[in-house]
Amino acid sequence: MVIKTEHIKPMNSTPEMLSLLKRHRAAILCGSPVVLAAYDSDMTANFDAFAAFAKSNPRTTVLLQLGYEHESAETADKLSSVVARFRDVVPDARVIALCNGPKEVESLGSRSVETRLIHQNCFLDERRYWPLTGSRPYDAAYIARLTPCKRHELVPPEVAPRLLLMGCASKIYDSERDYADMVKSRYSAARWIPTFSGAKISEYLAMAKCGLVLSAREGASFCSSEYFLCGLPVVDTPAIGGRSVLYPEEFVRYVDSTPESVGAGIAHWVANGPDPRAVRTAWLEKARTHRAAFEELMLELTGRRFGRPPHKLALRTPHPDAAHSIAIAAYLRVKGLLSR
């Protein structure tokens, strides 16, 4: 059973309020009692709208996804102040941070924020991602926006002819455009896919032998789990933010933040490619614990058991419904890329 968010409306909501909620990127997971999901940054940026909604719907619970790391004092302090203010404005509301790692649980918990260890990536619908058969002409794939924090420069330039880059630069920030120009120049021999649909991710990743995760500071990193679900092992550099919590350790090569070390990690997987199905299965086993924790949390909050939640908790994604997930698998089968 899938939580059909589009059919669940809070009891005391007007059409205007629901429209406001949608504009501010919140998802309604349950209508009675009201359970909302939102990224912490969206609630922070639209605090008054969230507070007004909670005031009109008594005992609202807001589940916060952490889109960026909250291990450090700076980010934890900011979120804890927002949560404290929300409690002051709406005393009967409850805010729970869904943390990506134990260090976030510790950091936020010590600042009186209620937490649960439920990794963001466990909400990926695996029916959208599949290990596909075929030749793999690229040694590595990197799904990442062309922005400095993604550290593309850690990829050795000599890997460029066998590198698949997936992502584009921001249209807003000049610094990202400058960085993108540098990446395109340094890795001009790489294949670059600036934009792509969710339906195409499996096809593109089937052309690579491993996936790269190179940021030093971020959140859960959806792409790291997308690699695993598509059967790719990973080369990972040290980072804070909890992305490694769902890593199946046997399919990760931890390396230093240098081009030489990243190159060695890539070479390892080129020479020792694992069974893609085993990679996928191992990740799903890691995610199972977090999915069970979410089910128990929803039972605690609502008194009812829910089944599979929507893809990415229906946050910042245009098609979170199960029908879209099933359609992607059907598309891959029609193309002869997926056997089951």
Q: How far is CA 133 from CA 50, 230, 339, in A?
A: 46, 10, 9
| Angle, in degrees to the nearest 10, between helices 276-302 and 222-229 | 130
Q: How far is CA 59 from CA 36, 77, 95, 119, 144, in A?
A: 11, 25, 10, 25, 39
* pTM higher than the cut 0.85: yes
Neighbours of 94 (CB within 10 A): 17
pLDDT tens series, the chain, 340 aa: 333 343 344 555 666 566 656 777 888 888 888 999 999 999 999 999 899 989 988 899 999 999 999 999 999 999 999 999 999 999 999 999 999 999 999 999 999 999 999 999 999 999 999 999 888 999 999 999 999 999 999 999 999 999 999 998 877 677 788 898 999 999 999 999 999 888 899 999 999 999 999 999 999 999 999 999 999 999 999 999 999 999 999 999 999 999 999 999 999 999 999 999 999 999 999 999 999 999 999 999 999 888 888 999 989 887 777 787 888 878 777 777 776 5
**Tokens, residue 233:** 């092992």
Separation between Cα atoms, residue 94 and residue 244, nearest integer Å: 28
Pair 95, 53: CB distance under 8 Å: no
CA neighbor of 237 nearest in space, from 264, 222, 215: 215
What type of residue is 305?
R
Per-residue pLDDT at 3: 38
Separation between Cα atoms, residue 223 and residue 300, nearest integer Å: 31
Per-residue pLDDT at 2: 36
Per-residue pLDDT at 321: 78
DSSP structure class, residue 123: G
How many alpha carbons lie under 13 Å from residue 9 in its C-beta half-sphere? 10
Per-residue pLDDT at 4: 38
Separation between Cα atoms, residue 11 and residue 318, nearest integer Å: 25
Helical (H) or strand (E) element with 164: strand 163-166
**Tokens, residue 121:** 């990536």
